[in-house]
Structure 1
């Protein structure tokens, strides 16, 4: 249907009957970035997932790339392919994270290397002998001789009298001596 120039057309239509031009949402800086993001986010995540092998990391780097694109959108929107810019930034972020992870893993491996000698036979024998003591005696011996706690401090911690702690220490030393003597006899017999 053609409208006469003097009649005017439907609301918003020019009087000559032509339709107004359709605006591209990317032309409007306010909505352009939202449309750009919505149209390209998933595809970029898939691409970065293929590169990183980790979906969470792919989502993170693509999100970061879009976050960096937002303040530059006015300039980026005029690029022939703004997606290429976002993809390159995401790719660089993923590569940087990979390098950081590689450096961290190398550091962690060095830290896990054993820098102390293994336990001596005496330490193994003492640990085995301590394991044979009842829990109260073992706790008293460990706290007193290895943690350097006084009898009074152990008594407060355990909620008992000083004499009780002294008794536990006496019985613990006697049991340890017997266990260690038995261990030394076994070693000599072998």
Structure 2
């Protein structure tokens, strides 16, 4: 990948990757940090990144691993999931009520279900692509998707109802 191709890839992918990692981690600042670090690592490997091979998946996987490493290093993974600072970076718009409700609902899922649900529903990956990216079988992906749907349905319906009623 040339420097120009990488710059275009960065400009085109940054916002969506930060959004995806935000949904996976539940922390906007953490998502911004790990995605930026993943892009830094990708920059040094840009000659080996292939636009046709899905460099977004590489960035997303590296960012996810960086987030997990950070939680383990701090030894407070539960606090990291619950923590959501209200202050946003000046150039980053605050997430809307729907996004906040979605993140809150996703936080209630086990880590693996949350990641799989985001990859499938938000990143629009197929079951097979999710299985490849996570290193688990397609049957397990389907099981986690089914469980995530069951767990999320009442929470998201309730959030939508409250939003419609102005509660």
TM-score, length-normalised on structure 1? 0.38
Larger radius of gyration: 1
TM-score, length-normalised on structure 2? 0.43
Greater relative CO, 1 or 2 (CA 8 Å, sep 6+): 2
